[in-house]
Amino acid sequence: MVRTLLTLLCTAPIFLLSCSDETETAYTGPWEIVYEEVFNGPHKDSPEFRKWFNKHRSGKMYFDTKLHNGNLWTQYGIAAEEFHYSDYDKLIWGNIIWVETIEQATEQEMQALVDEFKAFAEPEDKNGNYKICTAFYKKYIQTK
């Protein structure tokens, strides 16, 4: 009897706390996602990457690249739609960053975007060519 009473007394506060009428809602946006591609060597055309590229034409881009003719091509904060997929044909190495705002998505959907981009990475080949793809997301906080 004492054991039963002690069990009830110990578990009652836990039960009552779990019955709160406050609903906890998960954050769903807006988010900021940053994709970074670092590569050496000619860009390999891939239908999957082309599809990804065409879906992510909003936001800003920042890049430092080298053209086949040896000249550097650097842009900071340009509109993403100003960089075209065909521009990859001119490049032999580079560091390209896309910054996008996603108005509404769950954290799982954001992680799926990160994972999708990371899958485009290519290990270094015998000629020293490679592509590193990284991404991260965070809550978007608009600054004045």
Question: How confident is the model over 71-111, as pLDDT tens digits?
Answer: 999 999 999 999 999 999 999 999 999 999 999 999 999 99
Q: What tokens were used for 88?
A: 């990859």
Contact between 53 and 85 (Cβ < 8 Å): yes
Please, which pLDDT band fits residue 25 given cuts at 50, 70 and 90?
Answer: confident
Q: Which of 105, 87, 88, 101 is nearest to 59 (CA)?
A: 101
Backbone angles phi, psi at 42, to 5 degrees: -60, 145
Q: What is the DSSP letter of 122?
A: B
What pTM was computed for the model?
0.80
Question: How confident is the model over 115-135, as pLDDT tens digits?
Answer: 999 999 999 999 999 999 999
Contact between 118 and 48 (Cβ < 8 Å): no
Q: What tokens were used for 95?
A: 């560091």
pLDDT at 10 over 60: no
Backbone angles phi, psi at 127, to 5 degrees: -95, 0
